[in-house]
């Protein structure tokens, strides 16, 4: 299995994926506080044209919270890009037939799924927390992070949501043949569960609740309220991975 993890790593480095993602997460990390910092200035620049439309700009004060708002706006975009880049993790290999020599050399199929999953998790975790750390550091420098409640826990929730999405994507990539099917399948499941979450009785249980990091930061909800959705995310993640292994075992290469 280590041999296959090394292969995955080499693939990510040599195809440039890892650099693109690091750059992207780094950029988002800088952009979040930068946009917050620049907001008053932009308002001032725009104030004349806004005034002509009847809007009066008063003093705008920015806190760390505004920067965190940006963080939770940008991170879904980063997750989407990760999904777009990695959705062909299996389908790409099916189309080229590159897994055939590996499997016929005797590498057990579940190990391939685990190796790919681990690499994907590592990339998401490192990228995500890089972005988090940069935003956190700038916020601490310009403002004060103490205005927000539980910033680490809130970001952990979104990170877990990302992991959950990526296990769904891995399942679809292992079981269908084209990239479009992977994207449609993953999108449909995530959106479907999001819709379920709109039903008030279910809203506390669905993993999509983990996206609401802002509510934690604003102190509107307590971390304990997230226990159930963390639990369901954990259980369904295991189910997605088990299904991915089962599908891949039965799969024609």
By CB under 8 A, tell whether 222 contacts another protein: no
CB of 121 to another protein, least distance (A): 21
By CB under 8 A, tell whether 52 contacts another protein: no
Stretch that binds another protein, among 27-35, 68-76, 105-113, 136-144 (CB under 8 A): 105-113
Stretch that binds another protein, among 6-14, 51-59, 79-87, 142-150 (CB under 8 A): 6-14
Alpha-carbon distances of 149 from 140, 179, 217, rounded to whole Å: 14, 40, 5
**Count residues contacting another protein (CB under 8 A)?**
26
By CB under 8 A, tell whether 4 contacts another protein: yes
Of residues 7 and 150, the one with the C-beta less far from another protein: 7
By CB under 8 A, tell whether 5 contacts another protein: no
Alpha-carbon distances of 54 from 24, 48, 49, rounded to whole Å: 38, 10, 9
Of residues 66 and 93, the one with the C-beta less far from another protein: 93
By CB under 8 A, tell whether 19 contacts another protein: no
Q: Which of 52, 106, 146, 200 binds another protein (CB under 8 A)?
A: 106
Q: Residue holding tokens 């044209």? A: 49
Q: Which of 108, 152, 199, 242 binds another protein (CB under 8 A)?
A: 108
Q: Which of 101, 192, 219, 231 binds another protein (CB under 8 A)?
A: 101
By CB under 8 A, tell whether 9 contacts another protein: no
Stretch that binds another protein, among 32-40, 46-54, 167-175, 245-253 (CB under 8 A): 245-253
CB of 93 to another protein, least distance (A): 9
């Amino acid at each position: 299995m280590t041999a296959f993890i090394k292969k995955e790593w080499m693939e990510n480095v040599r195809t440039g994926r890892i650099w693109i993602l690091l750059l992207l997460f780094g950029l988002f990390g800088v952009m979040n506080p930068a946009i917050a910092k620049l907001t008053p200035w932009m308002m001032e620049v725009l104030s004349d044209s806004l005034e002509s439309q009847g809007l009066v700009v008063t003093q705008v004060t920015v806190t760390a919270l505004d920067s965190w708002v940006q963080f939770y706006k940008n991170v879904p975009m980063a997750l989407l890009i990760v999904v777009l880049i990695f959705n062909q993790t299996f389908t790409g290999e099916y189309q080229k037939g590159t897994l055939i020599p590996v499997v016929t050399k005797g590498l057990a199929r579940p190990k391939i799924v685990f190796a790919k999953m681990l690499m994907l998790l590592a990339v998401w975790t490192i990228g995500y927390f890089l972005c988090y750390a940069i935003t956190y550091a700038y916020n601490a420098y310009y403002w004060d992070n103490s205005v927000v409640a539980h910033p680490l826990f809130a970001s952990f929730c979104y990170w877990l949501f990302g992991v959950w999405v990526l296990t769904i994507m891995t399942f679809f990539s292992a079981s269908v043949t084209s990239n479009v099917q992977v994207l449609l399948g993953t999108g449909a499941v995530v959106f479907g569960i999001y819709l379920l979450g709109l039903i008030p009785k279910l809203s506390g249980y669905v993993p999509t609740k983990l996206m609401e990091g802002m509510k934690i930061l604003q102190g509107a909800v307590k971390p304990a309220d997230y226990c159930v959705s963390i639990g369901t995310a954990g259980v369904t993640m295991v189910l997605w991975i088990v299904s991915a292994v089962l599908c891949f075992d039965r799969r024609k290469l």
